[in-house]
Structure 1
Amino acid sequence: MSVLTTAPHTRRGFLGLVGTAALAAGCSSASGGSARKTTKLRYQGSAGSITPPELAADLGYLGPVTLDWVGNTISGPQDIQSAATGQTDFGGAFNGAVAKLHSAGAPITAVISYYGVDQYSYNGFYTLSGSPIAGAADLFGKKIGMNTLGAHDEAILDIYLGRNGVTEADVKKVEPLVVPPVNTEQSLRAHQIDVAVLGGILRDKALADGGVKPLFTDFDLLGSFSAGTYVFRNDFLAKNPDTVHAFTSGVGKAIEWARSTPLPEVVDRFTKIIKARGRNEDASALKYFKSFGIAGTGGVIAEKEFTTWISWLEGQGQIPKGKVKAADVYTNKYNSFANGGS
């Protein structure tokens, strides 16, 4: 079982949790962990949506590599912890969460970006249309519903509060809560939370339903950037370089296919994949898909996509200053697009 699903969700609690995950990862490494030769990759998916690796597999871009779905997750930190402890072979999370886990000693390396922020794909912080919340100070004592703590949404919230003059002491007056993405809009409309973090198809559905207004978005704050990466354990990388190369380059090719293919065709492909895999999922929200939001061609990782969050984490006191260097957290060597190939 994952660390996050068994521990309480508290503000700033993630750093302690990644230490536990790193310890578990070390134990797993000592007993063999994921250090095995394979072309079958265990992974966690996301209900009602298609990930870039799933698209790559359907398009036939992964070569000899096959995917072995072991379940779904709504938490990036939990997903990379599962990879770090050998429960899965790869996992994806916000780059700040990847840097935290690396800082705690987990033997992982990021190999390709898989989601990001652009004018079409972004996360917004939304309130009800009649809400008096209009600025950062109005969030004191308010509940902010997001998919997980210690990841993208909480980092964006802290940046927003900091840029609007909210002190570290007052930041603690704002209460982020974990709400499953599929329930976030409903929780907002039921007044169970005061602000809902919504992205992608769930955001567009909520806006189409009406009655909500934006407070701010991550695109407003930071513009376009790749925000999350897939990671593998270092022992797995050493044992399976060809498998990781096929996976990474195939996923990169799928990213470019989604970027260059007319949107109706992309949505139609996604819908067919969901129906064919038979997991009893609702595919109706797929019509709102617009983009993966990935900045780099083929998911190539840019150094600033880690240094931005490493600096923020250091400023927050969540990792020791100078302990984590971006070059130690990620590599593009498995991605054919890094050298101009495809």
Structure 2
Amino acid sequence: MSHPARLASRGRFRIGAIGAVLSAAALLTGCGAFPEASGASESPGSDETTTVRYQGWASQVGFNELAEDLGYFDNVELEWVGNTISGPQDIQSVATNQIDVGGAFNGAVVKLAATGAPITPVIAYYGADSENYHGYYVLEGSPIRSARDLIGKKIGVNTLGAHHEFIIREWLAQQGLTKDEIAQVELVVVPPVNTEQALRQGQIDAGTLGSVFRDTALDRGGIRPLFTDESLFGSFSYGTQIFRNDFIEQNPEAVADYVQGVSRAIRWAQTTPREEVIEKFREIIESRGRNESTEFIEHWKSTGVGNSGGVIDEKEIQIWIDWLVRNGELAEGQLTASDVFTNEFVPYANGTLDPASGPNGEEVEAR
């Protein structure tokens, strides 16, 4: 889904250098100066690079890692400091200056911003669509058929305070359960690799399954979905990557370069045949020497990102602000979406690239 080019209003900061950086990027685009999808690129007018620290995910390829491999960064060098299994932990590490960029579910991002943490979401990086989604499953013979049947039951999720907790509670609310009734549905932390086994052995009553874990579980049979995250809002971006505001203020060129590179990598994955994307992911995993399996990425189907190149839609933030207000975790009017995020670095939002074009501004066929 394309999104009209626009700049989000900003309440947190204003960086004078950003306009010059983006104007220069637009001029380069007009001259066809975006690097091709192979080989490293040189920084225009500067040999200096800025190191951006980040955490990865085992056996997966982040869009920043893809961007680096495709040669989409001009003056950014990534520094991998280890892996994480939790979005909330990832963005907390950004806020405490352990890393420079991280990503999480937007509800977790909003909660962190509401505490006054000086962070800003700059690009959407994951979501759900008809091909890439998480389902919430029970055994085929389970008596659980509705949201009300889950009262007093256990649901396995990968971590608390993140995507699955918000989605489950949102679905329960949409199905008519009260706040007190929702509180009686117990969420239990279960690593994704163990969720299917825990469900089949009766350790949990329902479990969250996505990607390879969902596909292999469905192949074995004996489970059925109650709902999916895609069924709630359709094609929808659920998570954003964030930087600390001081990092943005001190390194505006690097942040602009990082976001344009990640944005174009997302767009590359959105417009490239699935088999080629998987092959590229496989190459990256095998070349980085972290003793990882490539089984997970063999089940990759789509980016799940709702808009071209990770443009953030205001509703993708506001819906979780409203959710926190309804649940009494945020005061009415305390925060609005325009206070939280910016699209000003995203080339498909700031006018640098047409939302219908590919990663180098080329015409692409709709997929």
Shorter-normalised TM range: 0.7 to 0.9
Contact 2:49 2:75 in 1 (8 A): no
Could you say which residue in structure 1 is the equivalent of 2:15?
Answer: none
Could you tell me which of 160, 174, 197 is aligned with 1:149?
Answer: 160
User: After alignment, is 208-217 or 257-266 more displaced?
Assistant: 208-217
SS of residue in 2 equivalent to 1:321:
coil
Q: Quick check: 1:280 aligned with 2:291? A: yes
Give the AA of the match of 2:118.
Answer: P
Cα distance per residue 1:314-336 (max 9 Å; x no partner): 00111122111111110011112
Measure, in 2, the Cα distance between the counterparts of 1:155 and 1:287.
Answer: 28
Q: Is 1:328 matched up with 2:339?
A: yes
Q: What's the secondary structure of 2:256's corresponding residue?
A: helix
Amino acid at match of 2:246: D
Tell me the residue number matched to 2:272: 261
* 1:75 alignment counterpart: 86
Distance in 2 (CA, whole Å) between partners of 1:60 and 1:142 is 49
Corresponding residue to 1:247 among 246, 258, 269: 258
SS in 1 for 2:348: helix
Letter in structure 1 aligned against 2:161: G
Any residues of structure 2 matched to 1:68-147 within 5 Å, and which? Answer: 68-147=79-158
* Distance in 2 separating the partners of 1:55 and 1:187: 33
Equivalents in 1 of 2:129, 2:91: separation in Å?
24
1:6 corresponds to:
none
Q: Distance in 1 between matches of 2:166 and 2:339?
A: 21
User: Take 1:184 and 1:128, find their aligned partners in 2: how far apart are those partners?
Assistant: 12
Q: Equivalent residue of 2:349, what SS?
A: helix
- The one of 217, 235, 258 aligned to 1:224: 235
Residue 211 of structure 1 and its aligned partner are, at CA, apart by 2.1
Please report the TM-score for the alignment, with normalisation by the length of structure 2: 0.81
What amino acid maps onto 1:154 in structure 2? E
Q: Deviations over 1:80-101 (max 9, x none)?
A: 0000000010110111111110
- Residue 316 of structure 1 corresponds to 327
Are the aligned partners of 1:307 and 1:326 in contact in 2 as well (CA < 8 Å)? yes
Q: Partners of 2:339 and 2:296 in 1: how far apart?
A: 38
Task: Report the residue type matching 1:65 in the other structure.
Answer: V
Q: Deviations over 1:178-206 (max 9, x none)?
A: 12222222222232211111123322232
Amino acid at match of 2:306: A
Which residue number in structure 1 is paired with residue 200 of structure 2?
A: 189
**Residue deviations 1:142-200 (CA, integer Å, cap 9, x gap):** 11111111121111111111121111111111001112222222222232211111123
State the match for 2:25 in structure 1. none
| Residue number in structure 2 paired with 1:11 | none
Q: Are the counterparts in 2 of residues 45 and 73 from structure 1 also a CA contact under 8 Å?
A: yes
Counterparts of 1:47 and 1:212 in 2: how far apart (Å)?
Answer: 27
> What amino acid does structure 2 have at the position aligned with 1:115?
Y
CA displacement at 1:210 relative to structure 2: 2.2
> 1:256 & 1:124 partners in 2: Cα distance?
25
For residue 295 of structure 1, report the CA deviation from its aligned partner. 0.8
Contact 2:52–2:100, Cα closer than 8 Å, also in 1: yes
Q: Which amino acid aligns with 1:134?
A: R
The offset of 1:293, in angstroms, is: 0.5
Give SS of 1:79's match: helix
Aligned-partner Cα distance in 1 for 2:198–2:337:
37
Output the amino acid matched with 2:236. Answer: F
| Deviation digits for residues 52-73 of structure 1 (CA, Å, limit 9, x no counterpart) | 1111111111222121111111
- Aligned to 1:208, which of 196, 199, 219? 219
Deviations 1:196-247 (A, max 9, x none): 1112332223222322211101111111111100000000000011111111
Superposition deviation, residue 38 in structure 1? 6.3
- Which structure's residues are more often helix, by fraction? 1
In structure 1, what is the Cα distance between the partners aligned to 2:126 and 2:237?
Answer: 6
**What secondary structure sits across from 1:338 in the alignment?**
coil
Deviations 1:257-299 (A, max 9, x none): 1111110111111111111111111111222110121011110
Q: Which of these residues, 283, 287, 312, is aligned with residue 301 of structure 1?
A: 312
- The partner residue of 1:41 within 52, 57, 78 is 52
Paired-residue identity, %: 55
Show the counterpart of 1:25: none
8 Å CA contact retained: 2:156, 2:207: yes
Deviates more, 1:209-218 or 1:104-113: 209-218
- Root-mean-square deviation (CA), in Å? 1.4
Q: Distance in 2 between matches of 1:196 and 1:116?
A: 19
> Structure 1 length normalisation: TM-score?
0.87
Larger Rg: 2
Contact 1:38–1:240, Cα closer than 8 Å, also in 2: no
